[in-house]
Chains A and B, each alone.
Chain A
């Protein structure tokens, strides 16, 4: 398979940047720093180009040039946000911020009440409405959800001192929290490995002959760099790194 030059070049670039970032795992080095700074800039650049093409041009520039002047008001509010950087007139940015905060808060309150509050109470007690058709184990599970939720809530109850029997209730709460955290931990392991798998899979692609062994060559170059660096920088620094 013969690939386009631009794709091969892309493969080399991607493999190189990936390996540069991974090299931090061995130790901090200039290549990592370069890749890291590039990432900063590229991330901002991407956000910038998407904002320009998806929002600024179609939502501000085009309406204004067509004579719809109403969009100037929010644009000005948006621009006022930037006065933050000029201490003397930074108060102007409040006009933008307060607008955003007011809108966000006004939406958040009823939605929070219905979704995370009332619906959760309802969800906890609803299973009991089907009591007749439940197996004993289902009933046990539903009781566990309800009781567990109460205990956890009590763990976070700050208005009374947790002593005696109350202490026991909040202790049970902690165990429910721990099971949840355990589940989260287990799942996160899978999530992180998946991401690593994704990068390795890409590197594997770039290591193929059609990419002229980009991964192998860059990896070897990095190893050579570290070996040389270790030799010239003296033993002292190396032993320090070991301890880390």
Chain B
């Protein structure tokens, strides 16, 4: 008995890999249809921060994620942009991750068309810059000192979207969507230093780490992982990839729990019987 159990325990891990692949592929092919219901406070706070901005306010989005965290963060960014456009906010986009430029392009090509928003009038995409600190500090006194053109080389001075926007004082909110520590930079080097409201969207991995900033209100809100994306999508009532993603993750989550429990129960059994 013991030997059989131990053998079971030393199973080739590739079987486990296969098991996971199956539990994820099946719901993609045939969705289960269990929508996300609960909405966390932190996500609601982001939603409300955007909701209370008057139309025409300038929202700065720092979209710093590359394809490697796209499934989590892209739906989030998309939901945020949709929300901003539906509230007729002006949107400026900056990025400090080279790999994100393609995703930003994709996002605005799609959502811009949905809401009939024009590049240069309703939103502006600024080019990638390598040094995050330098740019953040510079934007506190004059953003044109570092950004003179948009990503296609068009002069940004005089663009309707940037009318009256020069420093953080002219921006109503900064939202940073990232899988890196860039949100920490926004909090420390911009939010706290220049008293700018900063909210964030992060991968589920870094989400618990922002608890202290949320409690102190250094962060106005936080969207965490695919669950957060699904929550935001349901807040703006536009289900997208976040909502369908959560549905697909149901079984896989249970699988992990079952695996941890099984292995530890086997271990107990082997030890005491």
Residues of chain A within 8 A (CB-CB) of B28 are: 197, 200-201, 204
Q: Does B158 contact A (CB under 8 A)?
A: no
Cβ 8 A contact of A194, one of B137, B209, B225, B256:
B225
Complex interface: chain B residues within 8 A of A85 (CB):
none
Would you call B224 and A187 a contact (CB within 8 A)? yes
CA distance A47 to B101 in the complex (A): 10
Q: Which residues of A80-127 have CB atoms within 8 Å of chain B's CB atoms?
A: 103-104, 107, 111-112, 114-116, 119-120, 122-123, 126
Q: Can you name the residue of chain B whose Cβ is closest to the Cβ of A180? A: B208
- Contacting pair B129 A107 (CB below 8 A): no
Q: Give the secondary structure class of B's interface.
A: helix
1/0 contact trace for B207-238 toward A, CB 8 Å?
11100100111100000111100000000000
With A107-B189, A189-B256, A193-B253 given, is the CB distance from A51 to B226 under 8 Å? no
Contacts of A195 in B (CB 8 A): 68-69, 71-72
Cβ of A23 to closest chain B Cβ, rounded Å: 11
Is the beta-carbon distance between B98 and A47 smaller than 8 angstroms? Answer: yes
Contacts known (A50-B98, A107-B133); A115 close to B256, Cβ less than 8 A: no
Contacts of A47 in B (CB 8 A): 98-99
Our pick among B128, B193, B216 for the contact of A123 (Cβ within 8 Å) is B216
Determine if A41 is an interface residue (Cβ-Cβ < 8 Å): no
Binds A, one of B40-48, B106-114, B116-124, B147-155: B147-155
A115-B187, A190-B226, A194-B72 given; A51·B14 CB < 8 A: no
- Asked if B127 is an interface residue, CB under 8 A from chain A, the answer is yes
Least Cβ distance of A52 to chain B in Å? 11
**Counting CB contacts under 8 A, is B3 at the interface?**
no
Q: Which of A26, A51, A187, A197 contacts B249 (CB 8 A)?
A: A197
- Could you tell me the distance between the alpha carbons of A103 and B204 in the complex, rounded to whole angstroms? 32
CA distance A204 to B28 in the complex (A): 8
CA distance A50 to B149 in the complex (A): 15
Interface readout for A19-45 with B: 1 if CB under 8 Å, 0 if not? Answer: 000000110000000000000000100
- Per-residue CB contact flags for chain A residues 116-160 toward chain B (1 = under 8 Å, else 0) read 100110110010000000000000000001000000000000000
B188 interfacial contact with A, CB 8 Å:
yes
Within B147-200, which residues are at the interface with A (CB < 8 Å)? Answer: 148-149, 151, 153, 187-189, 192-193
Cβ of A184 under 8 Å from chain B: yes
CB of B91 within 8 A of chain A? no
Total contacting residues, chain A, CB less than 8 A: 44
Contacts of B253 in A (CB 8 A): 189-190, 193
Q: Are B189 and A111 in contact (CB under 8 A)?
A: yes
CB pair B98 A51 closer than 8 Å: yes
Say yes or no for B29: interface residue by CB 8 A criterion.
yes
B:11-49 near A, CB below 8 Å: 12, 14, 17, 20-21, 24-25, 28-29
Asked whether, in the complex, the Cβ of B188 is within 8 Å of the Cβ of A187, the reply is no
A79 within 8 A of B: no
Residues in A with CB closer than 8 Å to B54 are none
The chain B residue sitting closest to A202, CB to CB, is: B71
Q: Given the known A-B contacts A107-B137, A195-B71, A198-B70, are A190 and B127 also in contact in the complex, defined by CB atoms under 8 Å? A: no
State in angstroms the CA–CA spacing of A25 and B13 once bound together. Answer: 9
Q: Does A223 contact B (CB under 8 A)?
A: no
Report the Cα distance A47→B66, complex, angstroms. 11
Interface string of B132-148 (1 = CB under 8 A from A): 01100100000000001
User: In the complex the two chains form, is A184's CB within 8 Å of B133's CB?
Assistant: no
| Chain B residue at minimal CB-CB distance from A194 | B226
A197 close to B245 (CB less than 8 A): yes
Q: Does A9 contact B (CB under 8 A)?
A: no
* Residues on A with beta carbons closer than 8 Å to the beta carbon of B134: 103
Contact A193 B249 (CB under 8 A): yes
Asked if B205 CB lies within 8 Å of chain A CBs, one says yes
**Other A-B pairs beyond A51-B98, A111-B189, A195-B72, 19, CB < 8 Å:** A50-B101, A54-B128, A58-B149, A58-B153, A119-B192, A119-B216, A123-B218, A183-B208, A187-B208, A187-B224, A188-B205, A189-B253, A190-B226, A191-B204, A191-B205, A191-B225, A195-B69, A197-B248, A200-B28
Q: Can you list 15 A-B pairs with a CB-CB distance of less than 8 A? A: A51-B98, A54-B128, A58-B153, A104-B133, A114-B193, A188-B204, A189-B256, A190-B249, A191-B203, A194-B71, A194-B72, A194-B245, A200-B25, A200-B28, A204-B28
> Which positions in B face A, CB cutoff 8 Å?
12, 14, 17, 20-21, 24-25, 28-29, 68-72, 98-99, 101, 127-130, 133-134, 137, 148-149, 151, 153, 187-189, 192-193, 203-205, 207-209, 212, 215-218, 224-227, 241, 245, 248-249, 252-253, 256
The 3 tightest CB contacts between A and B, nearest first, are A198-B71, A123-B216, A191-B204
